[in-house]
Amino acid sequence: NDGLSNLVELDLQSNYLSSDSDNDGLNDGVEHQLGWDVLVANIGDQQAASDYDGDGLSNIEEQTLGTALDNADSDGDGISDYIEALTQSQVDEDEKVNWSPLIENSGIYAKLSDFDGDGLTNGQEAALHTSLVDVDTDSDGINDYHEVVYSWDPLNAQVPESSDFDSDGI
């Protein structure tokens, strides 16, 4: 199923019995959505491997997952399709982080999780605009969590004068 009605297929002169009329690896619905000719197999590896919406998933990966090629957050939950797809494949079946990049609000557990293990939940990271996958977003050598706890800016690499976490004078 390429998502195109038979009437649209007739109008495009594509093969309604095939989801990929030109056999280029992208289904007709995706090509039509992007404004590409569904009958011309010039898409090739480069365009299939490109990332139309900039979310980190290639066009062919988006098609395989069923996510939108033109929307980096297909379900609108604030977490990119890439992060959802990456996490989905790494989470143990017993944990509640198993969610779909296609179901809105299915990311509730993902927002409460801590992908990078820095002590901030993914929801907090999103609100602070810090990285979900890097414990030290600004690369200043101080964990994002500690910067937030001490009211420092986790996006500013300049280390504050008072960076003595345990008040031991060192």
Give residue 136's pLDDT. 92
Which residues have CB under 8 Å from 11's CB, separation 6+?
A: none
Q: Does position 101 have pLDDT exceeding 80, yes or no?
A: no
DSSP letters, 69-97, are TT-SSTT-SSS-HHHHHHHHTTS-TTSTT
Please write the tens of the pLDDT for every residue from 41-52: 765 555 666 788
CA–CA dist 128, 55 (Å, integer):
19
Give residue 70's pLDDT. 82
Q: Does position 92 have pLDDT exceeding 50, yes or no?
A: no
Mean predicted confidence (pLDDT) in 129-134: 81
Please write the tens of the pLDDT for every residue from 64-81: 777 888 888 887 777 788
Q: How confident is the model at residue 86 (pLDDT cuts 50, 70, 90)?
A: low
Give the whole-number percent of the chain exceeding pLDDT 70.
73
Please write the tens of the pLDDT for every residue from 10-54: 999 988 888 888 877 777 887 787 777 888 776 555 566 678 888
CA–CA dist 84, 91 (Å, integer):
11
Give residue 112's pLDDT. 64
Question: What average pLDDT does the chain have?
Answer: 74
Give residue 111's pLDDT. 59
